[in-house]
Copies of this chain bind each other. A is one copy, B any other.
Amino acid sequence: MKAGGHVALERSLLIRGATIVTVNDEQEVIEEGELLIEKGLITSVGRACDPPVGWRATKATRIIEARGKVVLPGLVNAHNHAAMSLFRGYADDLPLMQWLHEKIWPAESKMVEEDVYWGTALSVLEMVRGGTTTFADMYLFMDQVARVVKKVGTRAVLARGVTAGGTDPKLEETRRLVETWHKGAGGRIRAAVGPHAPYTCTPEFLQQVAGLAKELGVPAHIHVAETREEVQQIKERYGATPVQYLERSGLFDAPRVTAVHCVHLTGEDVKILADRRVGVVSCPGSNLKLAAGIAPLAKMVKAAIPIGLGTDGPASAGALDMWEQMRLAANLQKALTGEADAISAAQALEMATRGGARALGLDGQIGAIIPGLSADVIIVNAERAHFYPPHDVLSSLVYAGHPADVETVIVAGQPVMEERMLLNLDEREVLARSAERARELIKRAEESRGEDQAGSEVVPPVD
């Protein structure tokens, strides 16, 4: 095992012999390709036989031989509450409101910083193993999330979840998060403002949030139109759909808005999202598991809305598996529309990479294998039964790919996992510590539930 990728930085790296899935504008796939990485950026991608043959190798201080493998952009998990891994499997198969009120919120109210650190570490470990190089996270104690990201070497967009009411620390933590971490960890961390959802934010608060986003030059990340109940509630309260409500409140004036879920939209909502260049993140697996529904992705694609995919938090998602999100994004639309070509494999792969980058405001930085972009790439072993026969690499990846197929993960030119060995994280320690934190946290929550049975304290929802 190599000692700390961040200690011995790779200056330049050539990956050669692989099939390269570029996700560029032409969805180009290069057989027997070569990918040259210099100072963290992709500087050249092409056929190994480009004349003069072998020129890229002369520029590389290290060469990875990848014949029989597939190289593609690192996956972008564009919505998560990573530390909620501590609650995974703790209370499944319960109705949403019972799950939140009786299980999740009481436990969250007892969380301390170390819980968030180890819960996030567990999720990041799993995400890296499955090929996720960038994730967006909305939660609390975000300094701890940033610490994990810095240590592991992945990329992240971090938002402190905030609501208008209750005991919420409002926007001070957001300002501090931006000041401390935005563009930190070698540029791998971005901060965002995180107004929780239309039903937890008043119009005044949303205006305030939009103002702060503009002032700080960061995007806003918000849950929108996740459930029918939410749509109903916002209609009753404001006489508008959740999307209309956000527009009227001025939130869409933020430099970039990432609207998560968007399961229940009107035609007018789709038009607003397109006109205001809002990025949408769909979490199809979570939307099924929490009985929310199926988002109209095919319609949004037609309206040219940038669409990314996310797992949502591990307590609602189960595994943090972006491969399954790709499959669900494509296949649920086929069932929803009755058209087997509603969303293609190429479109689903784009959502999980470049689309996610766009939705998070990272366009032009990550998401494709194009010279000039950051070298966030993964290497997949395609010599496996489920990828055979090799008729069509895009179909294979989207319809048959699994997290365990990912062998090597590179972020900003630096290996984070090699041949399934995590380079910057002690896996055993993370498993043991996260299990211990989960056990103790739930013990604290269940003990105290007896005490403040009346639910005296409203816990801010951040998930």
Residues of A within 8 A of B (CB): 85-90, 92-96, 99, 122-123, 125-126, 129, 228, 285, 287-294, 317-321, 324, 327, 330-332, 334-335, 337-342, 344-345, 383, 385-386, 388-392, 395-396, 398-404, 427, 430-431, 434-435, 438-439, 442
Contact = CB atoms under 8 A, between A and B. Distances in A.
B89 A385 contact: no
B434 A94 contact: no
Given A126-B385, A289-B334, A337-B291, A391 B438 contact: yes
B93 A291 contact: no
| Total copies of the chain | 2
A89 B431 CA distance: 37
Given A319-B402, A399-B319, A388 B435 contact: yes
Nearest to A395: B89
B89 A319 contact: no
6 contacts: A122-B389, A125-B385, A289-B399, A318-B386, A319-B401, A321-B402
A389 B88 contact: yes
Contacts of A292: 335
- Contact residues of A: prevailing secondary structure: helix
B95 A339 contact: yes
Interface centre among A122, A319, A431 (most CB of B within 10 A): A319
A339 B122 CA distance: 29
A291 B342 contact: yes
Contacts of A92: 344-345, 392, 395, 399
Interface centre among A87, A294, A344, A400 (most CB of B within 10 A): A400
A396 B122 CA distance: 15
Given A89-B395, A94-B341, A403-B402, A291 B389 contact: no
A434 B404 contact: no
A288 B383 contact: no
Contacts of A228: 338
Contacts of A99: 340
Contacts of A96: 340
A390 B435 contact: yes
Nearest to A344: B93
The 7 A-B residue pairs with the shortest CB-CB distance, nearest first, are A318-B399, A404-B404, A89-B395, A126-B385, A389-B438, A288-B331, A319-B400
Nearest to A228: B338
A294 to B, nearest CB: 6
A90 to B, nearest CB: 5
Contact of A427 (B94, B324, B385, B427): B385
A126 B389 CA distance: 12
Given A90-B392, A92-B392, A402-B402, A335 B291 contact: yes
